[in-house]
């Protein structure tokens, strides 16, 4: 079953590189994923069918606000580990997303 994962940052730009690394890790592990990067402002309009939302560490201050939106749609939401984000460790972030997804 396909997992739909959204990475969220201020403009959706810094997470796009991580999306590619995560997609690579998913392909190597034969995990069917749809991973996208969106800006914090676009989160509400992109939640339909989403399994998990991960925030870039630079916007963790928005977690309460975004978590409230995600809770309304029953979508788990958390912040990406800063070290994994900084290292662009796609496999670790993918594993984290799968662990907390519904």
> Residue 93 has what pLDDT?
98
Residues 9, 33, 70, 77: which is the catalytic one? Answer: 9
Range of the structural domain that residue 15 is part of: 3-100
Using the predicted structure, report yes or no on whether residue 11 has a pLDDT greater than 80: no
CB atoms < 10 A from the CB of 41, how many? Answer: 11
Q: What are 69's two structure tokens? A: 């939106």
Q: What is the CA radius of gyration of the chain?
A: 12
> Residue 102 has what pLDDT?
64
Q: Which residues contact 2 (CB under 8 A, 6 or more apart)?
A: 32, 33, 34
pTM value is: 0.94
How many domains is the chain partitioned into structurally?
A: 1
Beta-bridge partner residues of 37: 7
Using the predicted structure, report yes or no on whether residue 47 has a pLDDT greater than 80: yes
User: Residue 79 belongs to a domain with what CATH number?
Assistant: 3.40.50.2300
Q: Is 70 a catalytic residue?
A: no
Of the listed ranges 11-15, 32-36, 52-56, 88-92, the least confidently predicted one is 11-15
């Amino acid at each position: 079953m396909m997992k739909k994962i959204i990475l969220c940052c201020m403009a959706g730009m810094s997470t796009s590189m991580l999306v590619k690394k995560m997609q690579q890790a998913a392909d190597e592990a034969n995990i069917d994923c749809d991973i996208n990067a969106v800006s914090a402002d676009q989160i509400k309009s992109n939640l339909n069918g989403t399994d998990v939302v991960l925030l870039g560490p630079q916007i963790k201050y928005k977690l309460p606000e975004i978590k409230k939106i995600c809770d309304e749609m029953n979508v788990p939401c958390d912040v990406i580990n800063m070290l994994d984000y900084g290292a662009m460790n796609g496999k670790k972030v993918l594993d984290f997303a799968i662990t907390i997804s519904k």
